[in-house]
A = this chain, B = another copy of it.
């Protein structure tokens, strides 16, 4: 326990976990009780134009089968819907439903509010310094997170 370095990763994880927990507590209150942390990432990755299982898998860094299963789940709970591409009948394009869009919109607003709370607690300058330092220590491409695959084998 005398190791200095132990605290940093734990605090990073704890901070992340807190933000995500608060997000989902609030989302549940605002009519999205079934959404899971991962779904937010996935819906962001689906994007406004929609996507297929293969594309989504590439974006998220998981197999197309895993991406397909995740789309199945999101479809089941009403966040995405699939339609066949008339130009290529093999493709089944998944798009956000209005309910899915609503979840993303609310997530963005809730995250903004949480950030504002941090700014209120730490001061906007310190928070910007924190964000800048994290930006410096992490890769640029926020979108190659490989989140789902990574968590699975944790």
Contact = CB atoms under 8 A, between A and B. Distances in A.
B121 A136 contact: yes
29 contacts: A3-B108, A4-B112, A4-B115, A5-B115, A6-B108, A8-B19, A8-B115, A9-B20, A11-B131, A11-B142, A12-B12, A12-B13, A12-B19, A12-B134, A14-B134, A14-B138, A14-B142, A14-B145, A15-B137, A15-B138, A16-B16, A17-B150, A36-B153, A121-B137, A126-B133, A127-B133, A129-B129, A130-B134, A151-B154
B145 A13 contact: yes
Task: For chain A, give the interface size range.
Answer: 35 or more
Q: Is the interface of A mostly helix, strand, loop or mixed?
A: helix
A77 interface: no
Interface in A35-60: 36-38
Interface in A112-154: 112-116, 118, 121-122, 126-127, 129-131, 133-139, 142, 145, 147, 150-151, 153-154
